[in-house]
Amino acid sequence: MNKKFEIFLAGLDFEKKDINTYIILLITPLFLSIYWYFGTVRGFGEFFPVMKENPIFDLYGAIYQYAFFFFFMFIIPVIFIKTVMKKSLQDFGCGLGDKKFGLIFLLIVIPVIAVVIYFSAGMPDVQKEYPISKIIMTKHDLIIWHELSYILFYYVAWEFFFRGFMLFGLKDRFGGVNAILIQTIASCMIHLGKPSAETITSILYGVVFGAIALRTRSIWYVLIAHIVTGILTDLFIIFR
């Protein structure tokens, strides 16, 4: 490496051993930007304009959005972990961890979530935003396909990326609290444009879910809580 370039990097406190940390921090805004501009229902309509004539266009668009998110936030990070970092997915919260603590968390938080979501589902801006696929408001036979893709693609990828890949990938370099705050910033930013209450609440979710993921050494318990939040929001709006 050129000596002057080495001096330049040294002035930036660049550490070769932290290269994976730098990659995680760089691909986070990159992937989220790609998703925001190309991976939503809007992007689906732009790429496949002929599909706009389909009566269930927005269901296909929603599934496209969830699958797009899954590819960038789950598939690519898993490949990076296994081939570049050469680590186990359990190192990123994919094991069951502290089952007792995780189950106690769920027993406490799920009733609270249900009550909060019941009332928030009555807010006009929340009803305007959800469900992502509006066709399921009237075609109830399609609900199962929407919600399954929502869970398997979107929520699994969401928790794996923020509370798994980012959180566990950064904690050794920055410490637990800083890693929680960093992934909270990223997960909050992707909520911009959604209802204001949801965006602000996502900060609380980011901190609490991050802390629980680290405490239990697992993403599964916060994943379940997040799924309950999303699915109940849809169902309370549809069947209100």
| pLDDT (tens digit per residue) in 84-100 | 999 999 999 999 999 99
- What is the distance between the alpha carbons of residues 177 and 2, in angstroms, rounded to a whole number? 37
Instruction: Provide the 10 A C-beta neighbour count for residue 30.
Output: 11
Say if residue 57's pLDDT is above 70: yes
Nearest to 47 by CA among 36, 62, 61: 61
Contact by Cβ (8 Å): 157, 81 = no
| In the chain, domain spans | 17-238
- Residue 98 has a pLDDT of 96
Say if residue 107's pLDDT is above 80: yes
Lookup result for tokens 């006009």: 124
How much is the average pLDDT of 169-198?
93
Confidence label for 218 from pLDDT (cuts 50, 70 and 90): very high
Lookup result for tokens 């405490």: 215
Percent of the chain past pLDDT 70, that is, above it, reads 96
Question: Dihedral through CA 110, CA 114, CA 115, CA 117, nearest 10?
Answer: 130
The string of pLDDT tens digits covering residues 163-179 is 999 999 999 999 999 99
- Residue 9 has a pLDDT of 66
The string of pLDDT tens digits covering residues 3-56 is 777 667 667 677 788 899 999 999 999 999 999 999 988 888 888 787 778 888
Question: Dihedral through CA 232, CA 40, CA 198, CA 206, nearest 10?
Answer: 90
How much is the average pLDDT of 96-116?
96
The size of the chain, in residues, is 240
Which residues touch 137 (CB under 8 Å, ≥6 apart)?
A: 131, 237, 238
Query: What are the tokens at 3?
Result: 């000596």
Lookup result for tokens 């379940």: 224
- Residue 45 has a pLDDT of 82
How much is the average pLDDT of 183-195?
91
Say if residue 186's pLDDT is above 90: yes
- Residue 163 has a pLDDT of 97
- Residue 38: HSE in the Cβ half-sphere, 13 Å Cα cutoff: 9
Which residues touch 213 (CB under 8 Å, ≥6 apart)?
A: 93, 159, 163, 164, 167, 168, 219, 221, 222
Contact by Cβ (8 Å): 170, 84 = no
- Residue 200 has a pLDDT of 92
- What is the distance between the alpha carbons of residues 49 and 37, in angstroms, rounded to a whole number? 16
Say if residue 117's pLDDT is above 90: yes
How much is the average pLDDT of 133-157?
95
Residue type, 140: H
How much is the average pLDDT of 200-219?
95
Average per-residue pLDDT in the chain?
92
Decide: residue 203, CB within 10 A, 0-12 exposed, 13-18 middle, 19+ buried. Answer: middle
Confidence label for 1 from pLDDT (cuts 50, 70 and 90): low
- Residue 195 has a pLDDT of 87
